[in-house]
Amino acid sequence: MLGLMQDWPLLMHKVLDHAAIQHPGREIISRSVEGPFHRTNYRDVRARALRVAQRLQRDGVQLGDRVATLAWNTWRHLEAWYGITGIGAIYHTVNPRLFPDQIVWILNHAGSRVLMLDLTFIPLIQQLAPKLEHIERFIILTDGAHLPETGLCNAVAYEDWLAEADGDFAWASFDERTAAGLCYTSGTTGDPKGVLYSHRSNVLHALACNQVDCLGLGVADRVMPVVPMFHANGWSLPIAAPLAGATLVLPGAKLDGASVHEIITETQVNFSAAVPTVWMMLLQHMEATGARIDTLKRVVIGGSACPAAITKTYQEKHGVRVIHAWGMTEMSPVGTTYQRKPEIGGLDPEAALALQAKQGCPPFTVEMKITNDAGQDLPWNGEVFGRLKVRGPAITRNYFRRENDAVLDADGFFDTGDVATIDAHGFMEVTDRSKDVIKSGGEWISSIALENAAVGYPGVAEAAVVAMHDPKWDERPLMILVMKPGAAAPDLAAMNGFLTDKVAKWWLPDDLVVVNEIPHTATGKILKTKLREAFKDHRPASR
Ligand code: AMP
């Protein structure tokens, strides 16, 4: 027997409708790409999103079509997401930091018909346009006054294009499982893979994120996603913020320490989210200038492991609570966050920091397990490492246009590619990517644990650990360091002395190299493939 409750499909535009009805005047403040701050609200964003939907339909865009965006976080990008999805088309966020050839590959693979882009990216797209096979129209996210001569086919200023629609339009209605968004993984090997979110998965995920012990946004929050909307669904904040009726602050193109500081203080941001690099740059800015961030109360740090030193400085010096989060594009993306479970009881400050350095616990909608290579479950004792697998209603089951690939195990779990422990309280800790773990004499050494410990050494700006070949143990750790300007680099003995009480003795690196720069992926993670290639013939001096 079925229940007798209403069938109310979970659609993206219902979130925006709710925000516009319940919180019409709540502000959306952006740093525009043109320069000045811009202020609008949910009522007006909804009205303009309806015009985007109407205007796209007039251009022939239909249910299931992909509309690409190459854009910073601004109110126009937000309107575009809701306008595109409001007719059942799919926002396809493109990461401008990828190699140009990858951008071409992704746009062609997605078959996107329209490209909405910021002024910043005109030179890039002018160079790539001849190779783009499906784009029929370029919409530049600006007004007529700022539109330069682009030479792009069918190019138009967004504001002029939008002015041709009167907004007398209603959202389309369709199944909640209809595709809403497409985001390609940045993949360090092989072709990028398209993750195709649905309306239902996006709405359920935003509801899950808004649980108190996850991101927990509320109506009084002033939320700034520094994480770009082109990274992993903008960590759900463009949906979770209107769902909660929170004020949104969108930082545009300027993400350096000084600019992030300026927008936090100018607009009174109290909640923000970004990768560790952004928080490190902000700290450096504050250390150099003596500036403060008194309004900021909570920050989500994720995308790569958040070093305990960053958590400690934000919490103790600036009174900002750090929410360490883990997730991935395939998970919409939030998978776990730090939770203060009462059964853990009081912890001394060091133990509390160590717990926060773990990636944390999943909200309802995410199930986790760790297994060995044979797929057998491993115990939750905080010690045994295994392949981390997840399942839930906002987690990928197949990639776009690769529907025949077997992605899930027999129980429907997705292998995250991460290696992790889970402790008795359910706290997950990523110990490595399965590709990056160092296999020494049949045992696994966590490169991430070594890197996190090494950045605590005075003067170390960044650390990476990769495997080097060893005739006896097969692989042994090589540590690669970047020092802060003017800081003296440690030698191997000094570093190993520092690490001795932090990791197992047999984990200590066999060699240490200091470089000027460590390569990163387009999403800010250390590019281990490139480091492994660069150091593939490296042997320690002692050998
Ligand atoms: P992406 O899909 O580009 O967001 O990358 C997802 C991957 O980033 C995960 O599978 C992890 O390897 C890594 N990652 C994300 N958050 C964290 C975190 N808090 N700690 C360690 N690794 C993380």
Return averaged pLDDT per consecutive 10 residues of the chain, 543 residues in all.
97 98 98 98 98 98 98 98 98 92 96 98 98 97 97 96 97 98 79 95 98 98 97 97 98 97 98 92 94 97 89 96 97 96 92 94 98 94 95 98 94 96 97 86 83 93 93 90 95 96 90 95 85 90 68
- Those residues whose C-beta lies under 8 Å from the C-beta of residue 40, and which sit 6 or more positions away, are 27, 28, 30, 75
Distance CA 16, CA 14 (A): 5
**DSSP bridge partners of 336:** 326
How distant, in Å, are the alpha carbons of 121, 328, 369, 394, 423 from that of 414?
Answer: 35, 12, 10, 11, 20
The CA 506 to ligand 1 mean position distance, Å, reads: 26
The CA 327 to ligand 1 mean position distance, Å, reads: 6
Q: What is the pLDDT of residue 313?
A: 95
Query: Ligand 1 pocket: which of 328, 448, 527 to mutate (most atoms <8 Å of CB)?
Result: 328
282 Cα distance to chain centroid: 18
How distant, in Å, are the alpha carbons of 65, 254, 294, 388 from that of 47?
Answer: 22, 27, 34, 43
The CA 189 to ligand 1 mean position distance, Å, reads: 16
Residue nearest atom 4 of ligand 1, based on CA coordinates:
328
Q: What is the dihedral of CA 129, 131, 132, 133, to 10 degrees?
A: 140
Distance CA 331, CA 335 (A): 6
3-state secondary structure 180-228: EEEEECCCCCCCCCEEEEEHHHHHHHHHHHCCCCCCCCCCCCEEEECCC
- Those residues whose C-beta lies under 8 Å from the C-beta of residue 534, and which sit 6 or more positions away, are none
Angle between helices 199-209 and 237-244 (to 10 degrees): 70
Q: What is the pLDDT of residue 304?
A: 84
Residue nearest atom 23 of ligand 1, based on CA coordinates:
304
The CA 300 to ligand 1 mean position distance, Å, reads: 13
Q: What is the pLDDT of residue 542?
A: 67
The residue count of the chain comes to 543
HSE-CB for 73 with a 13 A CA cutoff: 27
pTM for the whole structure: 0.90
Residue nearest atom 8 of ligand 1, based on CA coordinates:
303
Distance CA 177, CA 536 (A): 46
Q: What is the pLDDT of residue 276?
A: 87
- The fold adopted by the segment(s) 12-200 is Rossmann fold (3.40.50)
The CA 397 to ligand 1 mean position distance, Å, reads: 18
The CA 281 to ligand 1 mean position distance, Å, reads: 20
The CA 210 to ligand 1 mean position distance, Å, reads: 20
Distance CA 272, CA 266 (A): 14
448 Cα nearest atom in ligand 1: 21
Q: What CATH number should be reported for the domain whose range is 438-534?
A: 3.30.300.30
Q: What is the pLDDT of residue 405?
A: 93
HSE-CB for 56 with a 13 A CA cutoff: 34
Residue 32 DSSP code: -
Q: Which residues form the pocket of ligand 1, taking CB atoms under 6 Å from any ligand atom?
A: 185-186, 232, 302-305, 324-329, 333, 359, 416-418, 430, 433, 523
Residue nearest atom 22 of ligand 1, based on CA coordinates:
304
Residue nearest atom 15 of ligand 1, based on CA coordinates:
303
Q: What is the pLDDT of residue 474?
A: 84
Residue nearest atom 5 of ligand 1, based on CA coordinates:
328
Give the catalytic positions in this structure: 185, 330, 439, 444
Residue nearest atom 7 of ligand 1, based on CA coordinates:
328
324 Cα nearest atom in ligand 1: 19
417 Cα nearest atom in ligand 1: 10
433 Cα nearest atom in ligand 1: 12
Residue-range domain boundaries for the chain: 12-200, 438-534
232 Cα nearest atom in ligand 1: 4
Q: What is the pLDDT of residue 543?
A: 63
Distance CA 391, CA 335 (A): 10
